[in-house]
Structure 1
Amino acid sequence: MKEVEIYTKNYCPYCHRAKELLRIKGVPFTEHDVTTDAETERQMQLRSGARTVPQIFVSGTCLGGCSELFELDEKGELDQLLDLKPARNGSS
């Protein structure tokens, strides 16, 4: 599984939604809460080129925000991007 980082603000519903999707998928992530941390927020802006949260990084590459995360999941591309193993069907 690849390293996932997410920049958030504690009052942001999109941040909560993105984190919940990652949790449902069993993806561990490092959260950078920028609610009251201007320096980390500045670093996020430099890394992503964006001023909005969440900003999600996979192996150091900016994936985008909540919309991009869900769009990749809906296309069936998120699991592959994160190197998640497909669920087994049937009995073993």
Structure 2
Amino acid sequence: MTRALVYSTAICPYCVAAKNFLKQKGIDYDDVRIDTDSARREEMLTRTQRRTVPQIFINDQHIGGYDDLIAFDRSGGLAELLAGANS
């Protein structure tokens, strides 16, 4: 089963867009709000070496931000990842 994790904040439009995209693709995700939990913010910084949100992981693979997610989908990488998770 495919599972995603999205590090996000409440006021980030790209976070909303990424979560809507994942929903549209039928991918369940956990939303980790780094604006309300400083420990999770530090976790995100350690895992990604990036300060911007969203930061998206699918099946523990770091995808990146919203633009990275869309590029990954357009290149066929998301379909491959989903196919591998469902086989």
TM-score, normalised with respect to structure 2: 0.87
User: In the TM superposition, what are the counterparts of 1:18-57 in structure 2 within 5 Å?
Assistant: 18-57=18-57
Return the offset for 1:17.
0.6
CA distance in 1, matches of 2:12, 2:34: 11
Higher helix share: 2
Q: Structure 1: give runs of 5+ residues left out of the alignment.
A: 86-92
> Which residue pairs with 1:3 in the alignment?
3
Point out the more displaced range, 63-72 or 53-62: 53-62
Say how many residue pairs are matched.
Answer: 85
CA distance in 1, matches of 2:45, 2:39: 10
> Which residue pairs with 1:70 in the alignment?
70
Counterpart secondary structure, 2:63: strand
Return the offset for 1:59.
2.1
User: In the TM superposition, what are the counterparts of 1:74-85 in structure 2 within 5 Å?
Assistant: 74-83=74-83
Structure 1 vs Structure 2 CA RMSD: 1.6
Question: Which structure: larger Rg?
Answer: 1
Q: Does the CA contact (< 8 Å) of 2:2 and 2:82 recur in 1?
A: yes
**CA displacement, residues 42-72 of structure 1 (integer Å, 9 cap, x when unaligned):** 1111011111100011222211110110001
Identity across matched positions, percent: 35
Runs of 4+ aligned residues of structure 1 deviating over 3 Å after TM superposition are: none
